[in-house]
C-alpha cells in the first residue's frame, strides 16, 4: 500500500475516533450535571485509575500501558473541563517542573495559575481562586520540601493525588559552539545536580549565575546568545532556546514527588495511600507506641519524616507519615479512632509509587 492509501485509512479511523470522543463527552456532561445536583467532585482519580487498569488488562497491543495512560489521561483532563472549567494553581513560574507535573494531570485545556511560593498556591485554593493546588513534596536527592510540610500542618485541603516525575535537565543555548558560551544561568540545585556534565565539558571554569528558577534561566539564555541555561525541556520550548544536550543530570534516577490538593475527599480505589501528620508528646516511647498501633493494625508504613512544630510551645514534633490503605478501610478507621487527638488527616489517594 502506498503513502496516500495508508493516510486515507488513518483519516477514516480519525473520523470514527472523533465521533466516539464526542459521544463520550456528551455522556461525561451528563455525569457533570448529576454531580452538580449532588455536589459530587468532578475529578475522580480512583475512577480514572480503574478505567486505565481495565483497558490495560484487555489490551492486545501494539499500544503499551504507558501509551494507553498518556492518551487517556489527556482524554479525562479534557472531559473534566466539559463538566466544569478546571483551574489549577501551581508553584511557578511557567515552565517549572511543577508546571510539567500539573499539565500531566490537568492536560492542555485547564486554566493554570503560576504562583511564586508554595504558601501562595495553598492560599489560592483556600480563597477559591483555583480548585487544585500542585506543589512538590519530596525529591530523592534533596529530601522533603519543608515549606510544603509546614503548609500541610495548617491547611484543611486534602491531598487528592500524587505523582512522581523524573527530573531531567537540558543544556540549552543560542550559541553555535560550546566555546562561545561565557556564562550559565540556572538554579543552585540544578548546578549541583549536573556537576559531572559541567566538568566533563570543561564548563567548570566559566561564570555560573544562580537565579530563582530554571525557567527564569531559560528566559535569560533566550536574551543572551553568549550564555547557556540548565533547565527543563518545557522551559526551553517555552522560551525557544535550542537544546544542545539532554539529560545532563548526574543521577538519571532523579525524581520529584508532587501532590495535588483540593477541597474534597477521594473514595477508595483498592490501591490507596494515606498521609497524616501525627503530633506526639515529647516523652520516651511515644513514637514507638504510636507506630506499634500501625503494626497491630497490619498497616504498611511507606514514609516517615519528623518536623518541629513551629507554633507550639515546648519541643513537640510533628511526624509526617505515609502508609498504604484508605481512611475508610476498617483497620485504618480503628487506628484513627484510637489516636484521634494526635492525628491530622491529610488525605487518601491512589497510590502511584
Ligand X SMILES: C=C(O[C@@H]1C=C(C(=O)O)C=C[C@H]1O)C(=O)O
Query: Which positions lie near ligand X, rule CB under 6 A?
Result: 28, 31, 43-44, 47-48, 51, 76, 79-80, 83
Return d(Cα 214, Cα 211) in angstroms, integer.
7
- Report in angstroms how near the CB of residue 41 gets to ligand X at its nearest: 8
With respect to ligand X, which residue has the nearer C-beta, 76 or 97? 76
Return d(Cα 258, Cα 136) in angstroms, integer.
4
With respect to ligand X, which residue has the nearer C-beta, 36 or 179? 36
Specify burial of residue 221 (Cβ count, 10 A radius: 0-12, 13-18, 19+): buried
- Report in angstroms how near the CB of residue 51 gets to ligand X at its nearest: 6
- Report in angstroms how near the CB of residue 29 gets to ligand X at its nearest: 9
With respect to ligand X, which residue has the nearer C-beta, 219 or 351? 351
Return d(Cα 56, Cα 68) in angstroms, integer.
7
With respect to ligand X, which residue has the nearer C-beta, 80 or 174? 80
Q: DSSP state, 251?
A: -
User: Closest residue to ligand X, Cβ-based?
Assistant: 79
Angle at the Cα of 303 from the Cα atoms of 297 and 290, rounded to 5 degrees:
40
With respect to ligand X, which residue has the nearer C-beta, 107 or 325? 107
Residue that has been written with the C-alpha cell 508546571 in this structure: 99
- Report in angstroms how near the CB of residue 108 gets to ligand X at its nearest: 15
- Report in angstroms how near the CB of residue 39 gets to ligand X at its nearest: 13
Contacts of 150-155 with CB under 8 Å at 24 or more apart are: 150/307, 150/310, 151/118, 151/119, 151/122, 152/275, 152/277, 152/320, 152/346, 153/277, 153/307, 153/309, 153/318, 153/344, 154/122, 155/122, 155/126, 155/261
Helix, strand, coil: what percent of the chain each, to 5?
A: 40, 25, 35
- Report in angstroms how near the CB of residue 188 gets to ligand X at its nearest: 37
With respect to ligand X, which residue has the nearer C-beta, 79 or 221? 79
Amino acid at each position: 500500500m502506498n503513502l496516500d492509501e495508508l493516510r486515507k485509512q488513518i483519516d477514516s479511523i480519525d473520523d470514527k475516533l472523533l465521533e466516539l470522543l464526542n459521544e463520550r463527552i456528551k455522556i461525561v456532561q451528563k455525569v457533570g450535571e448529576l454531580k452538580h445536583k449532588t455536589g459530587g467532585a468532578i475529578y475522580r482519580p480512583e475512577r480514572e485509575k480503574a478505567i486505565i487498569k481495565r483497558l490495560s488488562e484487555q489490551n492486545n497491543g501494539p499500544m503499551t500501558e504507558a501509551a494507553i495512560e498518556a492518551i487517556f489521561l489527556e482524554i479525562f483532563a479534557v472531559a473534566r473541563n466539559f463538566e466544569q472549567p478546571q483551574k489549577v494553581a501551581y508553584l511557578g513560574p511557567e515552565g517549572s517542573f511543577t508546571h510539567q507535573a500539573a499539565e500531566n494531570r490537568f492536560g492542555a485545556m485547564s486554566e493554570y495559575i503560576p504562583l511564586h511560593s508554595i504558601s501562595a498556591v495553598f492560599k489560592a485554593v483556600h480563597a477559591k481562586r483555583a480548585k487544585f493546588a500542585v506543589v512538590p513534596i519530596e525529591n530523592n536527592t534533596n529530601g522533603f520540601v519543608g515549606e510544603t510540610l509546614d503548609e500541610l500542618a495548617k491547611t484543611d485541603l486534602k491531598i487528592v493525588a500524587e505523582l512522581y516525575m523524573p527530573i531531567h535537565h537540558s543544556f540549552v543555548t543560542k550559541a553555535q559552539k560550546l566555546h562561545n558560551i561565557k556564562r550559565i544561568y540556572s538554579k543552585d540545585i540544578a548546578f549541583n545536580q549536573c556537576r559531572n556534565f559541567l566538568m566533563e565539558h570543561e564548563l567548570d571554569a566559566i561564570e555560573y549565575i544562580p537565579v530563582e528558577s530554571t525557567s527564569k534561566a531559560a528566559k535569560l539564555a533566550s536574551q543572551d546568545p553568549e550564555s547557556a541555561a540548565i533547565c527543563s525541556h518545557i522551559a526551553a520550548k517555552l522560551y525557544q532556546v535550542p537544546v544542545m544536550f539532554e539529560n545532563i543530570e548526574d543521577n538519571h534516577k532523579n525524581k520529584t514527588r508532587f501532590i495535588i490538593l483540593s477541597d474534597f475527599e477521594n473514595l477508595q480505589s483498592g490501591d490507596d495511600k494515606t498521609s497524616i501528620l501525627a503530633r506526639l508528646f515529647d516523652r520516651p516511647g511515644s513514637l514507638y507506641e504510636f507506630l506499634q498501633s500501625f503494626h497491630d493494625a497490619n498497616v504498611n508504613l511507606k514514609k516517615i519524616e519528623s518536623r518541629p512544630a513551629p507554633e507550639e510551645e515546648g519541643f513537640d514534633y510533628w511526624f509526617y507519615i505515609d502508609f498504604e490503605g484508605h481512611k475508610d478501610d476498617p483497620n485504618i478507621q480503628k487506628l484513627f479512632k484510637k489516636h484521634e487527638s494526635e492525628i491530622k488527616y491529610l488525605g487518601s489517594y491512589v497510590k502511584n509509587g
